[in-house]
Chain A
Amino acid sequence: SQQGEEDPQALSIQEGENATMNCSYKTSINNLQWYRQNSGRGLVHLILIRSNEREKHSGRLRVTLDTSKKSSSLLITASRAADTASYFCATDAGTGFQKLVFGTGTRLLVSP
C-alpha cells in the first residue's frame, strides 16, 4: 500500500451536493496537503494542514486531520461541475518538508 491512499477511488455526485474524500497514511507526518488535478493538467494546491491542527477551512473546502487514526478528509460543499477533477492527498511522510508522498487520488465527477 502507498503512504497515502484515497477513498473512494471514484465519486459521482450532482451539482449542489457535498463531496467527501478520505485519505489514510502510514507514517508520522509534519503536514498533509490536498491537491486538485484537472484532466491532463498539473496539480493545484488546495490546502495544507499541519500535524497539530485538527480542522481547516478554505472557502467551500473543509479538511480534517486525525493523527491518531492517520487519516484526513476533504469535504467540498455545494459542489459545482467545475469541481470535476482528481483529488490527491500528499504527506511529507516524516521525511522532511521537501519530498511529498502522494496517494492514488479520488476522481470526482460532478454532474450538472
Chain B
Amino acid sequence: NAGVMQNPRHLVRRRGQEARLRCSPMKGHSHVYWYRQLPEEGLKFMVYLQKENIIDESGMPKERFSAEFPKEGPSILRIQQVVRGDSAAYFCASSPAGEIFRFGGYTFGSGTRLTVV
C-alpha cells in the first residue's frame, strides 16, 4: 500500500513559466490537502479538496495558483507565471473521510521542491 506519492521531487522553473505539481493520495483516501513550506518555517495550509470539489481554499494566493482533484487521476497544484517567491517545498497530505481523531493524523508525501530561477 503505497503512501502519498508526489512528483516531481524537484522542479526548476524560470520566472514566468508554469509549474504543475502532482499528488496521488493513499489508496482509500478521498481527501487531499496542499501545504507550502518556506525555508526554516512550518507548513502553511493552502487548499483542501475532495474528489471534484474544492472544500477550502482559504490559504491559496488569489492569483496564479489553482488546484484540482479530478474524479480520475492525481490532484494537481498549478502555479502560473512563477516568481522567485514561489520557491518552496510543496507538500500534499491525504486522509480518509471522517473526523481526524478516528484515524489519527494525516499522511504526507515527500514533497516537491520548487526552485524558480
A48-B104, A48-B105, A97-B99 are contacts. A41–B45 as well, Cβ < 8 Å? Answer: no
User: Within 8 Å CB of B42, what residues of A?
Assistant: 2, 4, 88, 102-105
Report chain B residues within 8 Å CB of A103: 42
User: Do B105 and A99 have beta carbons less than 8 Å apart?
Assistant: no
Residues of B within 8 Å of A64, CB to CB, are none
A2 to chain B, nearest CB (A): 7
How many chain B residues sit at the interface, stated as a range, is: 20 to 34
The segment from B65-73, B75-83, B108-116 found at the interface with A is B108-116
B107 touches A98 (CB 8 A): no
Is A50 an interface residue when CB atoms closer than 8 A count as contact? yes
Contact with B along A2-16 (1 / 0, CB 8 A): 101000000000000
Interface presence of A45 (CB below 8 A)? yes
B43 lies within 8 A of chain A by Cβ = yes
- Tell me if B31 and A41 are in contact (CB < 8 A): no
Given A88-B42, A92-B100, A105-B42: A99 touches B48 (CB 8 Å cut-off): yes
The answer to whether A42 and B104 touch (CB under 8 A), given A88-B43, A102-B43, A104-B42, is: no
Asked if A75 CB lies within 8 Å of chain B CBs, one says no
Shortest distance between the CB of A81 and any CB in chain B (Å): 21
Size bracket, chain A contacts? 20 to 34
Contact of B41 with A104 in the complex, beta carbons under 8 Å: yes
Per-residue B-contact encoding for A21-56, CB less than 8 Å = 1, 0 else: 000000000110101000011111111101000000
A98 adjacent to B101 (CB under 8 Å): no
Q: Do B31 and A102 touch across chains, with their CB atoms under 8 A apart?
A: no
Residue of A nearest to B107 (CB): A45
Are A102 and B44 in contact (CB-based, < 8 A)? yes
Q: Is the CB of B106 within 8 A of A100?
A: yes
B55 at the interface (CB under 8 A from A): yes
Residue with the greatest number of chain A CB neighbours at <10 A, chosen from B58, B91, B105, B110: B105
Residue numbers of B with Cβ under 8 A of A are 4, 6, 31, 33, 35, 40-45, 48, 55-56, 58-59, 91, 93, 95, 99-101, 104-111, 113
